[in-house]
Structure formats: structure tokens, C-alpha cells
Chain A
Amino acid sequence: MQEFRVLIVDDEEDFVETIVKRLKDRGLDVTGATSGRAALELMDGKEFDVAVLDVKMPGMDGIETLREMKKKSPRMEVIMLTGHGSVESGIQGLQLGAYNYVMKPVPLNDLLKQMTQAYERKLIEQDRHRGGA
């Protein structure tokens, strides 16, 4: 397991807390946030490779957060987490530069697989960027 930096954003505190524990247990550098604003603040202090972002949150919702995140850190890959059945919000996320979207509840291993793939893509993108530069 490659160690990379993950930011989990979900308004359900219990969910964030548990998933952070489980991912840390699997050796990832995981930070949790329970709102979009908190997540953006965290990003000021630290760089993340992959973010898992709940679409539906009170206050600043997932799509808006995604937009801000991409402004702050365009290289960071984002996986949208949707409890909502609407394909539109997922597709909208993809259009705004999200890596993928998964539907809640998702088995941890599946999520882990998605995150790893996202991280790998980030590495490839970084390499290409550097190569080009």
C-alpha cells in the first residue's frame, strides 16, 4: 500500500471518524473534515493527494466545495461520494474535474481501490507535467 495523503469530507461525523480510523489503520495519511469550509481550511495548512467528498452537505455543498478545492489545488484528485441517486450531480462533479463518483454506502475496499487509482493518476499527471515543463 502506497502511502498518500487523503482528505475525507462528509457532514456525518460518525462516518468521517470511522473511515479515518480505518484508513489510518491501512497506513494512509488521512485527515477528516465535517464541512466543506473546514476542508478548505485544512487544505491551507496541508497538501492532499486525494479527497473523498460527499455531494450533499448542509451549508457549502459538495459541488461548491469541489469548485473551491480545484481552485486551491488543481492537482488534487477528488472522488465524489453521493448518497443521492441523481446521476446529474455525479456528472456535474466529473465536469468540474472530479476523478469519479461512488454511491454510498460503499464497501471500504472498493473506495480504497478508487482512491489508489486516483492517486496513481495524480502521479502520472504530475510526471507528465514535469516532463512537459
Chain B
Amino acid sequence: MASKHYRSLRLKIVFVTLFFSLIPLFALGVTIYYLFATAYNSKNSEGLRTLAETRRSAVELFFDERISQLITIANTHSLDTLQDEANLKRVFDIMQARSKSFIDLGVIDEEGKHLAYVGPHYDELKVVNYAHEEWFQAVRSSGVYVSDIFLGFRKVPHFIIAVTRLEKNRTWILRATINSEIIESIVREGIVGKRGDGYIVNRNNVLQTTPRFSGKLLGRPDGPDLSSIIGLQLELVRTERENNLFAAAPIRNPKWVLVLREDLFEQMGPLFQAQYAGGLILAAGILLVITGTVLTSRSMIKELIRMEVDKAKSDDLVMQSSKMAALGKMAAGIAHEINNPLAIIGEKAGWMKDLLDKEDIQASENFKEFEDCIKKIERQVERSRTITHRLLRFGRRMEPTQDMVDINTILAETLTFLEGEAHYRDIKIVSNYDKRLPRITTDSAQLQQVFLNIVDNAIDAVGKSGIIEIETGYDQARNSDIFIRIKDNGPGISKELIGKIFDPFFSTKVQNEGTGLGLSISYSIIEKLGGKITVQSEEGKGTTFVIFVPVR
């Protein structure tokens, strides 16, 4: 019952301790993880935003340069000059010498008719009329036009830039086809990591460059539709397999959108490492806390049990000694009350004896009988006197003291209390005292209690018909302790139990007959007096207790 109580107490201690120590640990871990993740994410998105901005600038610069190149040509040459295909070719050659991205160059009049053309598709394009083309309408109204990407005859992606020139009431258009490879390479430079991507879409969400993973040129990109954004925008898209961060930057002219995609799992390697390390530290911390808690609670409970046992022991000791003190008082009281009548009987008998000694009575025929009776009365008075004096001494000794005592005397007196019981059970107590024992200073009452406990146990162990041998001794040469050996021929104690016999509450007696504290108390008394008790036992042969008391 006690152990159950302690187990639940221990569980309570463990749970409360764990609760209060793990909660802050978790809170700390979560907070640090969250703060770190936030910081890392914001740094990450900042990086992607900056990258998107620089790529956008590069793309815009590219277009601005191409447009201004064409505007410069258109404004520095008259229609008459450029109408001449030889002149146009010369200009085109100069342009191509600087950049291979120009594919062809053409001059178109207000009606959409090709006036001059330099380029690889002369025959096909020279005869085309652009009057109804959408771009032609657009360039006429806005002055500058950049087309979306399209695949030309050679399946090479390219786009056109057209600029309008107003010359002496005549409007003409300079148009160039440009390979989009450079845009591709500009975008590609913005691709991050092994799984990142980058591409450009037009306002209809049609791919203008070839992305690495996310689709095909002129198709739809796999990612979200970012074609209608107004300013630079970051968007996080989570799927089961990946966490993608998109940065979209609108390009001024043409009205395209540059999209960079970054795989967060890839980019967050360091974060995951930190997460892993943090988790490891957390787990180790939890393990430590649990171990500490379990160990602490165990030692606490042990200490509690030890304290309780000690308390029970000392309580019992107090109870026993107060019982003994009461007993002593009673014994002394009885002895005193009996001593007075005993004294009178003794005196009366003595007076009778005195009278018998007188000569005249000696002649009486029953003189012998009288004399015999008086002698017997005197002997019985003497016997009773021994008993009452012993009771008085016993009563006195129950008060705790330090006095010079003779172990043999104490032992002999203790045995007188048990002789009756032993005799009744047909147990012979054989004592062999060493007469040379020195007198020692100790608490005789406590010593008496120990002898009483152990001899009483021996009588109980033997049960009926047996021998208890009691021997005292002292090795003067070695100035060693006085020993008192109490040996019975009872059933003995098994090996499993012999280690437990001094444990409190251990008892082989039937319940309610013994407290199980006798030997435990004896042990602590002897320990307190500076001695020790040893026990040896063989099953079937008997048990031997040896008490050692130091000579001081």
C-alpha cells in the first residue's frame, strides 16, 4: 500500500517536473525556429526580389538600346536613302557587325508596302503588305512597337521592333527582326540553383522565353498566372512536393513580365540544417530533463521512504521505551508494596526464632517442627526479597542512563524475565559467562532490551523443546569488544531471508504478534552504543546472533 502511494507520488513529481521544464524548452525551441525561419525567408525573398529587379533592368536596357538604335537610324537617314536597298544593306551590315541579333531590316510605307528589305527572306517578305497587320496599326499610333516572340521560318524565336518616322508629311516605318536569344540569356542568368527557373510571359501569359522546366516557348507556364501584375511581386506557391517562391517584375516596353522561380527546399538547405541541429538539441535536452527528473524523483522517494522508516523506528523505540518505563514503574511500585509485609513476616519469623532459642521452649515436643517451619518461612522471605529487589532494580534501569554495568549481570537479570516462558516450553537456556568481563559504561536499559528481544526471538524460533546457549567473552589481549553469543537450535533462517532480518517491518511471526521492529531496533540501539550485531544461520541447525559491545 505504501509502495503504491509512493509510486503515484513519484509519477506526480515526474509529470509536474517534466511539464514545467519541457514547456519552456518547447517554447524556446519553437520561438527560435520561427524567428530563424522568418529571418532566413525574408533574406531569401529579398535576394530573389533584387535578382528579379536586376534582370528586369537588363531586359529593359536591351530593349531600350535596340529601340533607340532603330530610332537613331530612322531619324538620321531619309526615306530616300533607305529606300535604296544598297544603302539599307550598308546600314544593316554595320548593325550586324556589332550584334548578330538583328536578322533583317525593312522599310515600309504608310500603306504597309515593303519599300526595301535586307534579310534572309527577301522573296517571301518583299511582297508582303502589312496594312492589316495588328502591329502595323500599333506602330502607326504609338510610334514605337515591340512585338511578342514568334517563330520565324527557320523556327528561331525572334521578335520585331518597328519605329515610325515622320518626314516631310510622309510617314514611313523602319522595322527590324531581332533574335531573342539575348533575352533568353539575360533571363537565364537570373536562374538560381539546380531547380530554380526563369522566364518571361507576355500579358496573355504566353511564354516569351524557353524556361528550364516550366513549359515550352509560346506555351503556358506551369506556375501561377503572373501576367497581369502591376509592380514587382513575390508569391509563394506551396505544393506537395515543392515550395516555390516566385518573383515577378513587369517590363516597361514591351509589356511583358519577367518571372523568376526559386525552389525554397533547395534554397533553405542551411535552414533545414539549423532545424535538424535544433531538433537534435531539443531531443537531447528532453532526454536530459527526463533522465534528471527520473533520477531526482527516485532519490527523493528513496529519501522519503528512508525517513518514514526511521520515523517508524524511532516512534516504536519511544513507544517501547515508554512501555518499559511504565512497566518499570509498576514493578517498582509492586515491589515496594510487597516489601513492607515481607519485612513484617521476616521480623515475625525472626522473633519466633529468637524465642525458640530460649531454653525453656526447646524442651517442647514440637520444637523441631517449629524450628523447621521458621527456617522455611525465613528462606521464602529471602527468596521473595530477591525477587522484589530485582524488580526494583529493573524499574530503576528503565530510566535511560549511562552507568557502569556488568554485561553478565544484565544478561542474567534479563534471562530471569524469560526463564518462565522457556521452562514452560521445555527450552533449556545454557549460559556460559566469562567472569573476567570488564565493567563498561553504557545504557543498561537499552542493552537489556536488546538481550530481551534477541533471546525472546530465539525462544520463538525454537518453539518447543530445544537449547539456547548464551556465552559472553572478551579477548583482553586484543582489547577487543565484549561479545555476547546467543545460539539457538531452532529451524534457522533461509539464505534469502537472512539479509532482511534487520529490515524494519520484516517479521516471520504471525501478523499482530510482532511489529517486525524488534531486531531493527536492536540493531540501531547497538549501533548507537558503538557496537554491532552479526547473524549466522543454517537451515535446520539453528541461528547464532553475536552482539559486540565496545569496551570504553
A-B pairs with lowest CB-CB distance, top 10: A85-B392, A105-B343, A83-B339, A18-B347, A104-B339, A105-B346, A85-B332, A104-B343, A14-B344, A105-B342
Chain B positions within 8 Å of A105 at CB level: 339, 342-343, 345-347, 381, 385
Q: What does the 1/0 interface line of A6-30 toward B look like (CB < 8 Å)?
A: 0000001011001101100100000
Q: Is A38 part of the binding interface, using a Cβ–Cβ cutoff of 8 Å?
A: no
CB <8 Å contact, B347 and A108: yes
Contact of A83 among B336, B346, B348, B350 (CB under 8 A): B336
Q: Is B351 part of the binding interface, using a Cβ–Cβ cutoff of 8 Å?
A: yes
Q: Is A107 part of the binding interface, using a Cβ–Cβ cutoff of 8 Å?
A: yes
Q: Is B335 part of the binding interface, using a Cβ–Cβ cutoff of 8 Å?
A: yes
CB <8 Å contact, B336 and A56: yes
Interface centre among B340, B354, B393, B396 (most CB of A within 10 A): B340
Considering the chains assembled together, what is the distance between the CA atoms of A22 and B385 in angstroms?
20
Chain A positions within 8 Å of B345 at CB level: 105
Contact A22-B396, Cβ < 8 Å, known A12-B340, A104-B339, A105-B385: no
Q: B329's closest neighbor in chain A, by CB? A: A85
CB <8 Å contact, B336 and A85: yes
Considering the chains assembled together, what is the distance between the CA atoms of A107 and B350 in angstroms?
9
Considering the chains assembled together, what is the distance between the CA atoms of A14 and B343 in angstroms?
10
Considering the chains assembled together, what is the distance between the CA atoms of A16 and B490 in angstroms?
54
Q: What does the 1/0 interface line of B318-355 toward A look like (CB < 8 Å)?
A: 00000000000000100110011011111110110010
Chain A positions within 8 Å of B382 at CB level: 107
Q: Is B313 part of the binding interface, using a Cβ–Cβ cutoff of 8 Å?
A: no
8 A Cβ contacts from A32-71 to B:
56
Considering the chains assembled together, what is the distance between the CA atoms of A129 and B351 in angstroms?
38
Chain B positions within 8 Å of A103 at CB level: 339, 389, 392
Chain B positions within 8 Å of A15 at CB level: 340, 343-344, 347
Q: Interface size class for chain B?
A: 20 to 34
8 A Cβ contacts from A103-122 to B:
103-108
Distance in Å: Cβ of B156 to nearest Cβ of chain A = 131
Considering the chains assembled together, what is the distance between the CA atoms of A18 and B389 in angstroms?
23
Contact of A84 among B336, B350, B393 (CB under 8 A): B336
Considering the chains assembled together, what is the distance between the CA atoms of A74 and B332 in angstroms?
32
Q: Interface size class for chain A?
A: 20 to 34
Considering the chains assembled together, what is the distance between the CA atoms of A85 and B335 in angstroms?
8
> 12 more A-B contacts (CB under 8 A) besides A22-B347, A56-B336?
A12-B343, A14-B347, A19-B347, A21-B351, A22-B351, A83-B340, A84-B336, A85-B391, A85-B392, A85-B395, A103-B389, A107-B350
Contact of A87 among B344, B346, B348, B396 (CB under 8 A): B396
Enumerate 25 A-B pairs (CB-CB under 8 Å) in ascending A order: A14-B344, A15-B340, A15-B343, A19-B347, A21-B351, A21-B354, A22-B354, A25-B351, A83-B336, A84-B336, A85-B332, A85-B335, A85-B391, A85-B393, A85-B395, A86-B332, A87-B396, A103-B389, A104-B339, A104-B340, A104-B342, A104-B343, A105-B342, A105-B346, A105-B385
Q: A56's closest neighbor in chain B, by CB? A: B336
Chain A positions within 8 Å of B347 at CB level: 14-15, 18-19, 22, 105, 108
Residues of B within 8 A of A (CB): 332, 335-336, 339-340, 342-348, 350-351, 354, 381-382, 385, 389, 391-393, 395-396
Considering the chains assembled together, what is the distance between the CA atoms of A106 and B381 in angstroms?
10
CB <8 Å contact, A14 and B348: yes
Chain B positions within 8 Å of A85 at CB level: 332, 335-336, 389, 391-393, 395-396
Q: B358's closest neighbor in chain A, by CB? A: A25
Considering the chains assembled together, what is the distance between the CA atoms of A18 and B351 in angstroms?
7
Residues of A within 8 A of B (CB): 12, 14-15, 18-19, 21-22, 25, 56, 83-87, 103-108
Contact of B350 among A14, A22, A86, A104 (CB under 8 A): A22
Considering the chains assembled together, what is the distance between the CA atoms of A12 and B382 in angstroms?
20
Distance in Å: Cβ of A129 to nearest Cβ of chain B = 35
Considering the chains assembled together, what is the distance between the CA atoms of A37 and B347 in angstroms?
24
Considering the chains assembled together, what is the distance between the CA atoms of A118 and B351 in angstroms?
23
Chain B positions within 8 Å of A21 at CB level: 351, 354
Chain A positions within 8 Å of B348 at CB level: 14, 18
Chain B positions within 8 Å of A108 at CB level: 347, 350
Chain A positions within 8 Å of B385 at CB level: 105
Contact of B354 among A25, A86, A87 (CB under 8 A): A25
Interface centre among A86, A104, A106 (most CB of B within 10 A): A104
Chain B positions within 8 Å of A18 at CB level: 344, 347-348, 350-351
Chain A positions within 8 Å of B389 at CB level: 85, 103
Chain B positions within 8 Å of A12 at CB level: 340, 343-344
Chain B positions within 8 Å of A106 at CB level: 343
Q: A106's closest neighbor in chain B, by CB? A: B343
Considering the chains assembled together, what is the distance between the CA atoms of A83 and B338 in angstroms?
9
Chain B positions within 8 Å of A84 at CB level: 332, 336, 392
Chain B positions within 8 Å of A19 at CB level: 347
Chain A positions within 8 Å of B381 at CB level: 105
Considering the chains assembled together, what is the distance between the CA atoms of A50 and B319 in angstroms?
46
Distance in Å: Cβ of A25 to nearest Cβ of chain B = 5
Chain B positions within 8 Å of A25 at CB level: 351, 354
Considering the chains assembled together, what is the distance between the CA atoms of A104 and B346 in angstroms?
10
Distance in Å: Cβ of B279 to nearest Cβ of chain A = 79
Considering the chains assembled together, what is the distance between the CA atoms of A21 and B344 in angstroms?
13
Distance in Å: Cβ of B380 to nearest Cβ of chain A = 12
Considering the chains assembled together, what is the distance between the CA atoms of A1 and B385 in angstroms?
28
